[in-house]
Amino acid sequence: MRWTVHSEKSLYTDPWIDLRIAEVELPGGRRIAHRLLRRPPGAGAVVCDDQDRVLLLWRHRFITDTWGYEIPMGGVLPGESTMAAAARETEEETGWRPGPLRPLLYAQPSNGLTDSEHHVFVTDSAERVGAPTDHWESERITWLPLARVPELVRERTLVSGTSMNALLYLYATRPRP
């Protein structure tokens, strides 16, 4: 059932995306033109505190015209480790410097369309270092109980795929206080 790639070429490229078209052969011999996005990796963090709360951004996404909670996350700079990127993004977007990070989740959020890889880390502490430097990232930053995660999913205020995956995974695997 493996598809064979015969060619791939760029249709549009900028620093964020590379929109491409690939000529692929399906099992059975049929060939199709398939569009795909090549993307640099992303990294984020689930920041917890000693009250079993998680640090979340409340933000608007103009593409879907929706509001929702998300973990801090962004792109990995050239030469930067995914863990360093997660720490940097957390501090820039929230004003909180995460404590020691450890891997939580690796995801390919839409692997039928893009090669984007998301690396999510978790920490049990953070230090407030000031206001977010990326103030345009969110309307507000809040600490919410991890126990509320299923409710946020039900009410559709947690819809970002990577944020939802990371928070539900942590909720399912974390020992309850």
> Would you say residue 81 has pLDDT above 80?
yes
Q: Give the separation between CA 102 and CA 123, rounded to whole angstroms.
A: 7
Which band of pLDDT confidence, cut at 50, 70 and 90, is reported for residue 177?
low
Average pLDDT over residues 11-15: 94
Encode 100-113: b = buried (16+ Cβ within 10 Å), e = exposed. ebeebbebeeeeee
> Would you say residue 18 has pLDDT above 90?
yes
pLDDT score, position 116: 94
pLDDT score, position 138: 83
The model's pTM is 0.91
Average pLDDT over residues 160-173: 96
Tell me which residue of 84, 89, 63 sits closest to 163, measured CA to CA: 89
Which band of pLDDT confidence, cut at 50, 70 and 90, is reported for residue 137?
confident
Q: Give the separation between CA 40 and CA 117, rounded to whole angstroms.
A: 8
Find all residues with CB under 8 Å of 105, minimum gap 6, and list them: 118, 119, 120, 162, 165, 166, 169
Burial of 120: CB neighbours in 10 Å, binned 0-12, 13-18, 19+: buried
> Would you say residue 3 has pLDDT above 80?
yes
Tell me which residue of 53, 42, 57, 63 sits closest to 157, measured CA to CA: 57
pLDDT score, position 158: 97
User: Tokens 């809040």 sit at which residue?
Assistant: 142
3-state SS class at 177 = coil
Average pLDDT over residues 15-26: 94
* Beta bridge pairs of residue 122: 46, 102
User: Tokens 């299923």 sit at which residue?
Assistant: 150
